Amino acid sequence: MLVPILMSLYYSFTDYDVITSANFVGVDNYIKLFQDDQFITALLNTLWYCVLTVPAGVVLALLLAVLFNRQIPGIGVFRTLTFIPVITSMVAVSLVWSMLYEDNGGLLNTLLGYLNLPPVHWLTDTNMAMISIAIMSVWKGLGYNMTIFLAGLQGVPHDLYEAATIDGANSVQKFFKITVPMIGPTTYFVSLMSLIGSLQVFDQVYIMTNGGPVDATKTVAMYLYQYGFQFYKMGYACAAAYVLFILVFVVSLIQNRSSKKWAEASV
């Protein structure tokens, strides 16, 4: 495991292009990255994707878990249906949603037509493309996050809710005063894992838009894939990969510092 990491780190300081031998170029690759407008765009797109998916995914999963955390007949069926997208291939899900998003004949625009609303260019509008991908991504990951929250909710002592009921607390007060604080560690875990996954987004972008339109959905992972496996600039792609690694590490560290104390204090 250590050998490939060290090799890729070394190649990030070279001009390795698969065909010719690698020549050491120092930090030139890293300097070129931040002088490349496409890379800056990819970096901003990646951060925008995180903003769109992480808060929405965490909040919706928590609300869904609260809704499904009930002992009623048939609740297991609804939980299973919600979890099915998680175990479905990202390729299959992306292809299906691409058909739903089609400008002409797509199910979503067809429904809008029935409502006498104009069609939306879900994947071909630079302002809507990333939002459309984010919607699909949140939907696909909702079941996993919901399952983690369900586990956390089932660990909350029922005595706390009974005591709150005796004190006259309503459902909203119980949720914010008992549920949210008690599942602090679970929320921290879900948000951290969602953030790390969002920073590395690639599959759905590659399949649904290939980084378009006009680089509106090109992410850092997409950028390093193109330079590494389409342009064969492996050294440059390794440098982009390490920038992505540093980004994931720094953002995770910031979240860890800002959220861990709150999560631990809520136990």
Q: Let me know: does 221 contact 172? Beta carbons within 8 Å.
A: no
Q: Let me know: does 137 contact 130? Beta carbons within 8 Å.
A: no
Is 150 a domain residue? Answer: yes
Q: Let me know: does 183 contact 204? Beta carbons within 8 Å.
A: no
Looking at residue 56, its pLDDT comes to 96
Q: Which domain holds residue 111?
A: 41-207+243-265
d(CA 114, CA 110): 6
Looking at residue 245, its pLDDT comes to 92
Is 82 a domain residue? Answer: yes
Is 199 a domain residue? Answer: yes
Which residues sit opposite 24 in a β-bridge? 14
Looking at residue 20, its pLDDT comes to 82
Domain total in the chain? 1
Of the candidates 171, 191, 183, the one whose C-alpha atom is nearest the C-alpha of residue 258 is: 191
Is 81 a domain residue? Answer: yes
Q: How far is CA 178 from CA 116, 169, 170, in A?
A: 45, 10, 11
Q: How many helices (H) and strands (E) does the chain have?
A: 14, 0
Looking at residue 264, its pLDDT comes to 55
pTM given for the model: 0.92
Is the previous residue joined to 4 through a cis bond, with omega within 30 degrees of 0? no
Tens of pLDDT along the chain (267 residues)? 677 788 888 889 999 888 888 889 999 999 999 999 999 999 999 999 999 999 999 999 999 999 988 888 888 888 889 999 999 999 999 999 999 999 988 999 999 999 999 999 999 999 999 999 999 999 999 999 999 999 999 888 888 888 888 888 888 898 888 898 899 889 989 999 999 999 999 999 999 999 999 999 999 999 999 999 999 999 999 999 999 999 999 988 887 777 655 555 454
Is 157 a domain residue? Answer: yes
Is 143 a domain residue? Answer: yes
Looking at residue 65, its pLDDT comes to 93
Is 29 a domain residue? Answer: no
Beta-carbon count within 10 A of 264 CB: 11
Looking at residue 167, its pLDDT comes to 85
Is 89 a domain residue? Answer: yes
The domain that holds 95 is classified in CATH as 1.10.3720.10
